[in-house]
Amino acid sequence: MNGLRVLIVEDEIPAAMLVEDAVETGGHTVAALATNIASAMVAASTGEFDVALLDVNLHGQKAHALPVILQRRGKPFAFVTGYGEAGVLSEFADAPIVHKPFAADEVWAALVTLSGRI
Amino acid sequence: MQNSEPGVDGSPLADTEISYAQFRALANSIPNLAWMANPDGWVFWYNQRWYEYTGTTPEEMVGWGWQSVHDPELLPDMLGNWTSSLSNGEPFEMTFPLRRGADGSFRMFVTRAEPLKEDGRIVGWFGTNTDITELERTKERLQLVVNELNHRVKNTLVTVQSIAAQSFKHSDPADYLTFERRLLSLSRVHNLLTHSGWSNAEVSEIVSISAKMFGEDRFEMNGDAIVVDPGLATSLAMTLHELCTNAMKYGALSNSSGRVIVKWSTESVGERKFMQFSWNEVDGPPVVTPTRTGFGLKLITRATTSGQGARVDHSFDPAGVRCDVRVPIDQGFLR
């Protein structure tokens, strides 16, 4: 698997830093980091990237429009989520889920799955 | 006694001496809706609260008139259950909404009915409807709060993880990984406890957390169905994690052939109940007794020995590390 260009959507900076570290130590590059819904929408609809890692909650708002945009552009994505949010993801049941807190290899495994869907 | 009103002098009253007026006063004082029916289900009496709540009259309600305050969509199910109780004589219990007369809104009630039997024959049915709307709302709110709290705890753990990752950046990566794995084990036992509303966790599932993290095919796990309280669950998960870490560094999980046999069972000693838990490493490299006591070893000997009668035997047998833990589980934790 060649290095992927990864869009990260995560509003909690400490969590975002961990995701970035995991992406980079896995031999991939961070295409963009979006920390709010507005920038996430712009990045998702116009950005240059291969796959996306999405936090489910952005400042308490469920980021439901994002997966729809990504699906339309044919960009595979995985969710990075805390406990208790899996239920809201049922309409995107195909997407891999990385549970917080996570180990780097769990992010790598999700990226391997996503690379097979590009 | 014969000359005074029944009960007025303070003496206990025989059931047969209770007057209809006294019964009605009691039936109208309870917060529930209440009613009485013939053996065939024909309702011939309701308490005052039934009429107040439903905004109906005795003429409208008598017999099977109560159907008009039910949700028409749910009524067939309710009728099915009720008529089967009437025919087989089993007590009836069901939750369904009833319409409030004042505003036409539906509130949720749990309805219970018991048959009265004389000489084995049913002579009537006695029922109550208890408004559980507030209870249900409180439950929902509580669940929301618990979900939110779980979410925040997870975020806090991620923040701690991130701070540690930055702090360890220029240290040996193995040190950070040791920390991170401890944190992940803790987080996973929290997930288990969250599923049970922080009441308990199954021992087999606690063992599985470690097995999954360190390679399930290397573990042989076997034991009784035992549930333990959150404190013991957390101690056990962390103890297992440290045993696994040591096994991976020096023991049976450090070569390609070693295995770990984990067994647990209950043991009764008089009135008391204990869990007997054993960790047994086999086919690993020859075991050398460690010269220093690390965090893991300290935790193993202390975490599970807080209860009265608890015991930990941790031995560095050259053939394989053994750890036998005996811990009381009789403080209301055993199902």
How many pairs of residues across A and B have Cβ atoms under 8 Å apart? 54
- Contact check, Cβ <8 Å, A84/B150: yes
Question: Which of A21, A61, A83, A106 is the best substitution to test chain B (most B C-beta atoms within 10 A)?
Answer: A83
The answer to whether residues B117 and B125 touch, using CB atoms and an 8 Å cutoff, is no
pLDDT of residue B149: 84
pLDDT digits (tens, 9 = 90+) for B232-278: 899 899 999 999 999 999 999 999 999 999 999 999 988 888 999 99
- Contact check, Cβ <8 Å, A14/B163: yes
Q: In terms of DSSP bridges, do strands A77-81 and A51-55 run parallel, antiparallel, or are they unpaired? A: parallel
| Residue A105, C-beta contacts closer than 8 angstroms, at least 6 positions apart | none
The answer to whether residues A82 and A108 touch, using CB atoms and an 8 Å cutoff, is no
Residue of A nearest to B190 (CA): A83
**DSSP 8-state symbol, A118:** -
Which domains are seen in chain B, by residue range? 31-131 (3.30.450.20), 173-328 (3.30.565.10)
pLDDT of residue B2: 46
Q: Which residues of A touch B157 (CB under 8 A)?
A: 100-101
Q: Is A52 helix (H, G, I), strand (E, B) or coil?
A: strand
Cα separation, A99 vs B71, whole angstroms: 42
Residue of B nearest to A18 (CA): B162
Q: Which residues of A touch B180 (CB under 8 A)?
A: 103
Q: Which of A84, A85, A100 sits opposite B158 (nearest CB)?
A: A100
The answer to whether residues A82 and B154 touch, using CB atoms and an 8 Å cutoff, is yes
The answer to whether residues B300 and B312 touch, using CB atoms and an 8 Å cutoff, is yes
- Show pLDDT as tens, one digit a residue, over chain A (118 residues): 579 999 999 988 999 999 999 999 999 999 999 998 889 999 999 999 999 999 877 666 666 789 999 999 999 999 998 765 555 567 788 889 898 999 999 999 999 999 999 8
**Is the pTM here over 0.90, yes or no?**
no
Q: Which residues of B touch A106 (CB under 8 A)?
A: none
Percent of chain A scoring above 90 in pLDDT: 66
CA distances from B314 to B54, B279, B286, B294, B309 (A): 68, 9, 16, 14, 16
* Helices vs. strands in chain B: H and E counts, helices first: 9, 12
A104/chain B closest Cα distance in angstroms: 10
Q: Which helix (H) or strand (E) holds B316?
A: strand B311-317
**Class of the CATH domain delimited by A5-115:** alpha beta
pLDDT digits (tens, 9 = 90+) for A15-25: 999 999 999 99
Q: Is B305 exposed, middle or buried (0-12, 13-18, 19+ CB in 10 A)?
A: middle
pLDDT of residue B66: 97
Cα separation, B116 vs B220, whole angstroms: 56
Residue of A nearest to B158 (CA): A101
Is the CB of residue B79 less than 8 Å away from at least one CB of chain A? no
Query: What's the CA dihedral at A54, A57, A63, A67 to 10 degrees?
Result: 30
Is the CB of residue A103 less than 8 Å away from at least one CB of chain B? yes
Q: Which of B65, B63, B140, B81 is nearest to B108 (CA)?
A: B140
Question: Which of A10, A11, A18 is the best substitution to test chain B (most B C-beta atoms within 10 A)?
Answer: A18
| CB within 8 Å of chain B, chain A residues 25-64 | 57
Question: Which of B161, B185, B191, B241 is the best substitution to test chain A (most A C-beta atoms within 10 A)?
Answer: B161
Q: Which helix (H) or strand (E) holds B261?
A: strand B259-269
Cα separation, A49 vs A43, whole angstroms: 9
Percent of chain A scoring above 70 in pLDDT: 88
Q: How far apart are the first and last CA of chain B?
A: 51
- Show pLDDT as tens, one digit a residue, over chain B (335 residues): 444 455 556 677 677 788 889 999 999 999 999 999 999 999 999 999 999 999 999 999 999 999 999 999 999 999 999 999 999 999 999 999 999 999 999 999 999 999 999 998 999 999 999 999 999 999 999 888 888 888 888 889 999 999 999 999 899 999 999 999 999 999 999 989 988 888 899 999 999 999 999 999 999 999 999 999 998 899 899 999 999 999 999 999 999 999 999 999 999 988 888 999 999 999 999 998 887 777 777 777 776 666 677 888 889 999 999 999 988 887 644 33
Q: What are phi and psi of B9, to 5 degrees?
A: -80, 5
Cα separation, A17 vs B193, whole angstroms: 28
- Contact check, Cβ <8 Å, A18/B162: yes
The answer to whether residues B228 and B333 touch, using CB atoms and an 8 Å cutoff, is yes
pLDDT digits (tens, 9 = 90+) for B114-128: 999 999 899 999 999
pLDDT of residue B152: 85
Partnered with residue B323 across adjacent β-strands are: B279, B314
Q: Is A95 helix (H, G, I), strand (E, B) or coil?
A: coil
Is the CB of residue A12 less than 8 Å away from at least one CB of chain B? yes
Complex prediction ipTM: 0.85
The answer to whether residues B164 and A97 touch, using CB atoms and an 8 Å cutoff, is no
